[in-house]
Amino acid sequence: AQKVTQAQTEISVVEKEDVTLDCVYETRDTTYYLFWYKQPPSGELVFLIRRNSFDEQNEISGRYSWNFQKSTSSFNFTITASQVVDSAVYFCALSEARRYGNKLVFGAGTILRVKS
């Protein structure tokens, strides 16, 4: 079965600190996609990244970076020099096409609080 674990329920940092949000997934499929979404207090989900199972290259986008390691089934997300506007709930999600028709399974989410 698909499963996504975000063990960190809540993280608090001070502005300008770096912070890493952990995501561990379980799947029996060889073809799958991993996602990160941000949910600010307004509630609307903001798409951050999609990564397919065949692309293990790390990605950097501005202050955001992602580390995908199939060997440990992890897809961790790092925010460098955090800002107050980064405060939100962050969800990691997994999608398997063949078994589950593109359904997204979300982790429990990590609340990130960035204090000024």
Q: Which spans of this chain sit near another protein (rule: CB under 8 A)?
A: 33, 37, 42-45, 47, 50, 52, 91, 95, 97, 101-109
CB of 20 to another protein, least distance (A): 20
Helix H or strand E encompassing 98: helix 97-100
CB of 16 to another protein, least distance (A): 27
Closer CB to another protein, 28 or 116, in the complex: 28
Cα–Cα distances (Å) from 43 to 7, 37, 39, 40, 57, in that order, read: 21, 11, 6, 6, 30
What count of residues does the chain have?
Answer: 116
Closer CB to another protein, 79 or 93, in the complex: 93
